[in-house]
Structure 1
Amino acid sequence: MLRAVLNVSWQEHLSNAQLYGNLRKITDVIKERRVRFVGHSFRNKSELISELMLWMPSHGTRRPGRPPKSFIDQLVADSGHTIEELPGAMMNRDGWKEVVKRIRASSTQ
């Protein structure tokens, strides 16, 4: 998509590093925004989403094979906290800001 936006032909054989330059990877931007949004939503107790944020099903089984990551699994991987630490970490607004800053700093390297 970026090649089309920049009007760069595939025949020019530019590497992705040359093409993207100083732009951050979209996956890093999504990770940062997901963590920021989750912390914001979890602290807002007047909204229904704060109760559903860390909900895990207590019945049924997963399908055989490699299980897809659940939202909570992805959040644990992004934030670096365990499932047990997440509620306390998200309630601490300044601490959660540090998590977001750490994710942003790791994506700019």
Structure 2
Amino acid sequence: MRIGMAKKKMIELNNVWKDHYIPIELKLKLLKCLIWPFMMYGCEAWSQKKDDDKRIEAAEMWFYRRILRVKWTDKRTNESVLKELKTERTLLNLINARKLKYVRHALPNHRTSLMKILCEGRLDGRRRKGRPPISLVTNLTTACGLSLHQIVQKSQDRAGWQQKVRSPIARAN
């Protein structure tokens, strides 16, 4: 994960976050333009576990608390911070939407079969003992609520797939 890099950039911009003359709306826009790209770089290929999702949500709340200058010792709930900023948690939904957009981009490409091998292919050999690892396919199917076969079919329809990709973002905003 790239949470550490994003937090480092957030700390580097401390003067911006502490400035009382910059409105909070502008600080939120700066956060989404300057910090979130560090956080989401390469997220299309991440295979996330539930623990990783919790870390992403915690980092998002850390960013918001940093903007409001809320100390970690203050007894503030996440809901009160989100209410004061007049926003909702959207980072995880954006990451899932970027994954789904990448599927639309990579599946029809006949020159590179990497995505087809990743999504549809099977590797030779035996699986290790224990629980199967979380895969990108598992993340994609849980993000959009469709099976892999349905994802492949629906991604062929450009307009319908864009509507499907935008739906998690529309619920978040």
Unaligned 5+ segments in structure 2 are: 1-61
Amino acid at match of 1:8: V
How many angstroms apart in 1 are the aligned matches of 2:161 and 2:81? 33
How many residues are paired up?
A: 108
Aligned: 1:102 with 2:151: no
**In structure 2, what is the Cα distance between the partners aligned to 1:62 and 1:27?**
30
Deviation string, structure 1 residues 21-78 (Cα, Å, up to 9, x no partner): 4132321221111112221222344445454452432323333333222111111111
Q: Distance in 2 between the 1:58 and 1:102 partners?
A: 33
Match of 1:15 among 60, 72, 77: 77
- Inter-partner Cα distance in structure 2 for 1:26 and 1:69: 20
List, as ranges, runs of 4+ consecutive aligned residues in structure 1 with deviation greater than 6 Å. Answer: none
Structure 1 stretches lacking a partner, 5+ long: none
Corresponding position: 1:41 with 2:118:
no
The yes-or-no answer on 1:62 pairing with 2:127 is: yes
Aligned position for 1:30: 95
> Given the alignment of the two structures, is residue 4 of structure 1 paired with residue 66 of structure 2, yes or no?
yes
Q: Secondary structure at the match of 1:85?
A: helix
Aligned: 1:80 with 2:80: no
CA contact (8 A) 1:43 1:50 kept: no
When normalised by structure 2's length, the TM-score is: 0.52
- Matched-pair contact (CA < 8 Å) for 1:41–1:50: yes
What is the TM-score of this pair, normalised by structure 1? 0.76
